[in-house]
A and B are shown apart, each in its own frame.
Chain A
Amino acid sequence: MRRIGVQSLPIALFIAVFTGIVLALLSSYTLTGAVPLYFVGTLVGKAVMIELVPVMTGLALSGRVGANIAAELGTMRVTEQVEALETLAYDPHSYLVVPRIIAATLMFPVVVALAEVTGLLSGWITAINLLDMSTVEFVKGLRLFYEFKDIWFGLVKSMSFGLAIALIGCMKGLSASGGAEGVGRTAMEAVVLGAQMILVLDAFWAVALL
């Protein structure tokens, strides 16, 4: 959990910071003139909480966590450590797969939640420093169409992303073959498939929950 979750925080927060900045600037660019500027807060809030931070964090963690799991288990497979566990009567799924899946499923929402807060903060700081907005205006926009669903929707989505990335990483890792080259190919496939699954799940949750 520390490796999958806590150690993923820097990259997730880094992405969130710049996502918030870009969202605030793009929102003001889009809204200038016709729509009140406090809608920057609305757009930043909705985009950060519902879509951009969960998906971008998921994609980033797909590379970091998914590749890590696939490479680790793939190496164990090609070096016959998995077979060794089976020889010792250990179930490799319960010993290798289940902890990773639980860790990813539980820690992805934590990482995404902190990233969302960071994205909102960076958007707010950008708005008051670069867009000549006041905190009151930004907060007004942020609260304008806020629903509690906005928060749990992103968290549920990120939970499914963690589950999918861990599952794909484990599946690909345990099916690795062909030495170091096979491990590399396995890691790459895990990342690509994980990214695709994130986008598919994103669409699925949008259809199912919105």
Chain B
Amino acid sequence: MKRRDELIVGATIVFTLLIVVTSAVWLSEMQLGAGGSVHVTRFRTVGGLGVGNPVVLRGVRVGRVKEIRITESDWVEADLHIYENTLLPAQPGVVAASASLFGEWQAGIINMAEPYSDPNVMNELAEAQAEGDDAWPGATLPDIGQLTAQGNRIATDIATVSSRIQAAFDSQTVHEVQRSIREFGQMADTLTRFTERQTAVFGEVSANIKHGSDAVTNAALNLEHALARLDSATAEGELDAIFNSIEGATAEMRSAVSSFLTLVRLAEENQASFVAVLVGADSVMTRMQNMTGTLGLLVGDSTLYVEATATIAELRALLTDIKANPRKYFKFSVF
């Protein structure tokens, strides 16, 4: 190979190497020669977080994921390379989450002293922190795929419910629903009218209550005046006189009550014979009502009345005949 060819080939290779290395460094955003620190973060799972993903603090990129490995006790440890001069929170924690809807992931540094809004994340952080040592606690939010799958399940359930509703709502059901709606409308109209009437009644009642309240107020005023008068009246001994009169009347009433009690006791003593008289009278009346016994037959049987009437008539005829013809019936002879 000629000298010139060697130079051209060598220059091409060197130039290509420079271009490739520069491009690789530039694309990976490596900070060659810069310092920084590496912090181990402990996750139960890192989700879609991968080596090279950005590490952000309040939205600002402050490092990148350097390495991810599975350790004992089912933990996953990620080494986060944090750039130099980064002001970290006093109690740092890490939340791995999708950076966008298109599968980009990032590790966000949070301050453990400030409560995170998601309780599941807080639980994961607490669990990772409970493992001890110097590793930062880490938690992972669900990725878009999981959320999409969940949304898909919800959509499927809604579709199932919709199909069931569609199956349940045949034309008859729709007619019934329409009729129910119409009836409900009528009922609403009725209720509205009733409400309007009741509103008027309530208005009247309110007015009456107002009047009543006014009357009560007046009565209270009158009572107040009366009490004032009573107060003024009692100031000169009239009340004592009234009480004395009441006491006398009470003594007389007590005496009357005592007489009344005596009368009641006498009545109680005669109660038995009075009851016996009543029972006997009741028995007689019952037998009369049942047309038994002499009085019953006398009252209830017309034959006796008829016979008696006929007898009286005959007696009257006999007396008339006796008066007219005494000798027919009486004979006086001395001898």
Partner among A1, A36, A110, A142 whose Cβ is within 8 Å of the Cβ of B27: A142
Beta-carbon contacts under 8 Å, A70-115 to B: 106-107, 110, 113-114
Q: Are B19 and A117 in contact (CB under 8 A)?
A: yes
With a CB–CB cut-off of 8 A, which chain A residues contact B243? none
With a CB–CB cut-off of 8 A, which chain B residues contact A151? 20, 23-24
Q: How close is A43's CB to chain B, nearest CB, in angstroms?
A: 12
Q: Are A143 and B16 in contact (CB under 8 A)?
A: no
Partner among A2, A117, A120 whose Cβ is within 8 Å of the Cβ of B8: A2
Q: Are A1 and B28 in contact (CB under 8 A)?
A: no
Partner among A5, A117, A143 whose Cβ is within 8 Å of the Cβ of B12: A5
With a CB–CB cut-off of 8 A, which chain A residues contact B15? 114
Q: Are A113 and B104 in contact (CB under 8 A)?
A: no
Interface contacts (Cβ under 8 Å), in number, total 54
Q: Could you tell me the distance between the alpha carbons of A110 and B11 in the complex, rounded to whole angstroms? A: 11
Knowing A2-B1, A35-B102, A145-B104, the reply to whether A113 touches B19 (Cβ < 8 A) is: yes
Q: How close is A74's CB to chain B, nearest CB, in angstroms?
A: 23
Q: Could you tell me the distance between the alpha carbons of A142 and B24 in the complex, rounded to whole angstroms? A: 11
With a CB–CB cut-off of 8 A, which chain A residues contact B28? 143, 146-148
A6 within 8 A of B: yes
Q: Are A148 and B24 in contact (CB under 8 A)?
A: yes
With a CB–CB cut-off of 8 A, which chain A residues contact B267? none
Q: Are B20 and A1 in contact (CB under 8 A)?
A: no
With a CB–CB cut-off of 8 A, which chain A residues contact B52? 146-148
With a CB–CB cut-off of 8 A, which chain A residues contact B102? 35-36, 39
- For the complex, count residues of A whose C-beta is within 8 A of B: 25
With a CB–CB cut-off of 8 A, which chain B residues contact A143? 27-29
B9 within 8 A of A: yes
A141-164 vs B, CB cutoff 8 Å, 1 = contact: the mask equals 011111110010001000000000
Q: Could you list some 27 contacts between A and B, CB below 8 A? A: A1-B1, A1-B5, A2-B1, A2-B9, A5-B9, A5-B12, A6-B12, A35-B102, A36-B102, A106-B13, A107-B9, A110-B16, A113-B16, A114-B12, A114-B16, A143-B28, A143-B29, A144-B104, A145-B104, A146-B27, A146-B28, A146-B52, A147-B28, A147-B52, A148-B24, A148-B28, A155-B20
Q: Which of B's residues lie within 8 Å of A, judged by CB?
A: 1, 5, 8-9, 12-13, 15-16, 19-20, 23-24, 27-29, 51-52, 100, 102-104
The 6 closest A-B pairs by CB, nearest first: A2-B5, A1-B9, A110-B16, A146-B27, A113-B16, A113-B20
